[in-house]
Amino acid sequence: MRPESHHDAPLAVTVLVSVGRHPLTGRGRRADQDARGVELSHTLTGAAVELLHAGRLDEGSEAALRGYLGMGFESLSLLEQPAGADVLPALAEALEASGPQLVIAGERAEQGEGSGLLPYLLAERLGWPLVSGLAAVEEVKEGVATLLQALPRGQRRRLQVRLPAIVTVDAAAPAPRQSAFGPARRGDVDVQAVPARDDADLAQWQAQSARKRPKRLKIVKAASARDRFKAAAAKAQGGGGQVLTEVTPEEGAEAIFKLLKEEGVLR
Amino acid sequence: MSDIRRRDPRKEWIARNRLHPQHLEVLAALGRGTGEEAASEWMGPHGLIRRNPRAVGFIGPNGVKRIDRSGAQQGQRAGGARASAAASKPRVEIAAPAFLVAVVPDMAGGRLTGHDRDLLGLARQLADADPAARGAVLAVVFGEHKEDDFEGAGVDRLLHLTGPEIDGFAPEARLGALVAMDRAWGPRHWLLPDSKLGGADLGRRLAARLGERPATGVWQLEADGEAPLGWRCTARGAAGTLDFQRPMPRLVLALAECAEPVSETRHAAEPLALPEALPIQLSRIQDLGQVAVDPAGVALSEAEFILSAGNGVRDWDAFHHAAEMLGATEGASRVAVDDGFMARDRQVGATGTWVTARVYVAVGISGAIQHLQGIQTCDKVVAINMDPGCDMIKRADLAVIGDSAKVLEALVALVEKSREEKRNAA
């Protein structure tokens, strides 16, 4: 996105992108959350957005990375790192050098350990605040960003954070646009060689494809066979529910209102 | 009174001897009552259940002894016995723990979630692994809570931190508290839930601050003498497609159902306080509070508060108005959907959506088994119904028998009144 003609400097935004993995075919693709991050950067008016990736450029990853270029970018910086390297120092140095105001990342990677720690480690190392699980950026003004954080159950929370900051996007962020083929082909991948550090721990762990987790059985701790049978055959019951009969509608409504208040669902 | 049971052989002997002049008063003293009320089961002095088969049953109308095995008679007694057993679960006190296992539960809605209980179960496994040197489970709770069963969940020590600076979304202040705790007590293990409710975020922040490499998405744990902490764990990685087998680090972010929750013992849940006051720090993140979202736009399966309508609703405009006023997501039973009053995607139950709401208000729903299945995981169910005998009333935590339209109208009036008062006060 090109910065608009504005009297002050455009907001410098860096989006960290990674190579994803298609859940069914296992092929490389745009990582879903990173693509959402890129889409989020498009919603910022007057921002100069840069894409940054640390990894290898090979047949598998090139198509995936060009997928991001097809979302309306002319170039992508790639810090060359071998497989199984710790990309934290390379990324931290690159970010320190370029000094963006806002760094957008996905919540966790779709390949490798996928622990979701990288944004936190970057924030700790750079000393920047971090906000996780973003749904939208509402406004950036005078070095303060107003953000909308996605909470479970479809709720949203409004936060203000002082820039520079790192934010991670949630699956609630706007869905990424389709990648355009032509711009993706024409786009430029700018490869920079940087020193790499091996991730020694990861190499020691045994990785295997995920086993299906055992389903938890409903364990009934009962002394007698009769109790066990009753527990197995019983319908779901609240147990000790309060029943108000012969009350006026007002009294009934009062009781319900009290419960709703206690549970904190009324705003 | 002490828990040690003392036997009095003389009294027992009198209790057995029906001809003894003091027989009745001794029976009363032993708490066994008289005649047909004699207990058929009781806890013996060594914790064994003793049975008196002669006390089972009753004398029928024809003078023949009858034993009712349908549960009508014994069921109540068994229920009572179980209720007292819950109160008398063995209490475990760990006075001088060899180490601490720190757990930071999510406490969504102010209560321990199922995930939190699983995590506390995992913490108990770690703490109780070596009976010679038992650890204590320390739970850290931020903000006000409504939980009253920390003892039963397996908490030995409870650190309850409150204050305006850690309310709402305050990861930096909470992180400061956890770091202060780490410095003060140096727990051997840190366990946090890997959940969207806040545990995943806080745990990763803590890992970055402490410089520990955590295990994330842990779902299995086994003892391993060669690992530094004596445990190996299996962790999900790569968007749930890989399992990593690795030695367990100090900080673990565990998935739900990583262990069985504690159910057989009670623990002390002794309150603790931090040795020094929390450092005051300037937060760079400011919480402006929750934003009102359109409840109709929230997916039914993840809505927090559902107002659901069934066959008993006649005035649909009033129902929609009530849902809007309460800020609830609308649901419906199958009948209401089939009759065309609600959209198909609003149907709750086995053939519709399985909901996870915290509060579910059923208006005019009698509670078919398919519908009750759909609301199995709801915490609080409120029923408004005309029929006091229906299944929904049995399931509900609060049931109001009456005309649903009138009750809803009164409820809307109450909500409007409280809003008005709040506005006037502000």
Q: What is the pLDDT of residues B170-181, one digit of tens each?
A: 888 899 899 989
Beta pairing, strands B231-237 & B157-161:
unpaired
Q: Is residue A149 part of a domain?
A: yes
Architecture (CATH level 2) of domain B97-272: 3-Layer(aba) Sandwich (3.40)
Angle B199-210/B171-185 helices, nearest 10 degrees?
Answer: 50
Answer yes or no: do A138 and A246 share one domain: no
Instruction: Give me the sign of the Cα torsion angle B225, B227, B228, B233.
Output: negative
**Distance from B169 to chain A by nearest Cα, in Å?**
9
Q: What range defines the domain where residue A143 resides?
A: 11-204
Which sign does the torsion angle of CA B45, B48, B52, B56 carry? positive
Same domain, A51 and A105: yes
Please identify which residue in the block is written with the tokens 């924030």.
Answer: A123
For residue A158, what pLDDT is reported? Answer: 92
If DSSP codes are grouped into helix, strand and coil, which group holds residue B416?
helix
Question: Quick check: is A95 in a domain?
Answer: yes
**pLDDT band (50, 70, 90) for residue B72:** low
> B301: distance to nearest CA of chain A, Å?
8
Question: Given B219, B285, B400, which is nearest A159 (Cβ)?
Answer: B285
Domain count, chain A: 2
Contacts of A204 (CB under 8 A, 6+ apart): B246
* Tokens 């993995």, located at residue: A21
Is CATH 3.30.565.10 the classification given to domain B295-425? Answer: no
CA B35 to chain centre: 41
pLDDT in the model for residue B203: 94
Clarify whether residues A135 and A230 are in a common domain.
no
Q: What is the DSSP string of B254-320?
A: E-TTSSPPP-S-EE--EEE--SSPPPP---SEEEEEEEP--GGGS-GGG-SEEEEE-TT---HHHHH
Share of chain A above pLDDT 90, in %: 43
Instruction: Determine the 3-state secondary structure of B332 from DSSP.
Output: strand
Within a domain: residue A34? yes
**3 state SS for B88-139:** CCCEECCCCCCCEEEECCCCHHHCCCHHHHHHHHHHHHHHHCCCCCCCEEEE
| Assigned token pair, B334 | 């199958």
Whether B110 contacts B146, CB under 8 Å: yes
The count of CB pairs under 8 A between chains A and B is: 255
- Kindly report, residue by residue over A169-186, the tens digit of the pLDDT: 988 888 899 999 999 999
**What does the alpha-carbon distance between residue A50 and residue A57 come to, in Å, rounded to a whole number?**
18
Whether residues A60 and A96 share a domain: the answer is yes
Residue in A18, A19, A27, A113 to test binding to B, most B beta-carbons within 10 Å:
A113
Within 8 A of B373 by CB-CB distance, chain A residues are 236
Query: Mean pLDDT over residues B30-46, rounded?
Result: 63
CA dihedral A14, A18, A24, A25 (to 10 degrees): 130
Please spell the DSSP secondary structure of B299-313, one letter per residue. -GGG-SEEEEE-TT-
Total Cβ atoms within 10 A of residue A222 = 15
Name the residue in chain B with its Cα closest to that of A246: B401
Which residues have C-beta within 8 Å of that of residue A106, sequence separation ≥ 6? A16, A18, A31, A32, A33, A34, A36, A37, A168, A169
**Tens digits of residue pLDDT in B315-338:** 899 999 999 888 899 999 999 999
Mean pLDDT of A53-61: 88
Q: Are B137 and B271 in contact (CB under 8 A)?
A: no
Contact A256, B414 (CB under 8 A): no
Nearest to A159 among B78, B169, B246 (CB): B169
> Mean pLDDT across the stretch A110-125?
90
Residues A47 and A179 in one domain: yes
Residues A178 and A237 placed together within one structural domain of the fold = no
Give the pLDDT score at B74. Answer: 45
Do A152 and A235 share a domain, yes or no?
A: no
Does residue A69 lie in a domain region?
Answer: yes
Distances (CA, A) of A34 to A15, A30, B195, B321: 8, 7, 20, 40
CA dist B359 and A263 (Å) reads: 8
Among A204, A233, A255, residue at a domain's last position: A204
Same fold, B97-272 and B295-425: yes
pLDDT in tens, B54-71: 777 777 777 788 887 776
**What does the alpha-carbon distance between residue B125 and residue B105 come to, in Å, rounded to a whole number?**
16
Per-domain residue ranges of chain B:
9-87, 97-272, 295-425
- State the best of B210, B219, B411, B422 to mutate against chain A, taking most chain A CBs within 10 Å: B411
| Beta strands A28-30; A19-21: pairing state | antiparallel
**So what's the pLDDT on residue B81?**
41
- Give me the helix-helix angle, B9-16 and B23-30, nearest 10°: 120
On whether residue A219 sits in a domain, the answer given is: no
C-alpha distance from A186 to closest chain B C-alpha (Å): 30
Q: Is the pLDDT confidence value at B36 over 50?
A: no
Mean pLDDT for chain B overall: 84
Q: Indicate the burial class of B424 (C-beta count within 10 angstroms; 0-12, 13-18, 19 or more).
A: exposed
State whether residue B421 is helix, strand or coil.
Answer: helix
Distance CA B121, CA A264 (A): 28
Confidence check: pLDDT of B282 > 90: no
Q: Please state, in angstroms and as integers, the Cα–Cα distance from residue B300 to each residue in A256, B65, B291, B295, following that order.
A: 21, 56, 19, 9
Comparing CB atoms, the residue among A110, A155, A244 nearest residue B239 is: A110
Stretch (H or E) spanning B177: helix B171-185
Instruction: Looking at the structure, tell me whether residues A119 and A170 fall in a common domain.
Output: yes
- Find the CB nearest B396 among A216, A238, A247: A238
Q: Are residues A163 and A94 in the same domain?
A: yes
Distance from CA of B10 to the nearest CA of A (A): 31
Q: Which of B69, B297, B402 sits opposite A249 (nearest CB)?
A: B402
B330 - beta bridge partners?
Answer: B307
Shared domain for A186 and A90, answered yes or no, is yes
Residues A243 and A189 occupy one common structural domain: no
Using a CB-CB cut-off of 8 Å, the residues of chain A touching B380 are: 259, 263
Q: Is the pLDDT of residue A215 over 50?
A: yes
Please identify which residue in the block is written with the tokens 């009962």: A222
The pLDDT tens digits of the residues spanning B144-168 come to 888 888 888 899 999 998 888 888 8
B chain contacts of residue A151, beta-carbon cutoff 8 Å:
196, 290
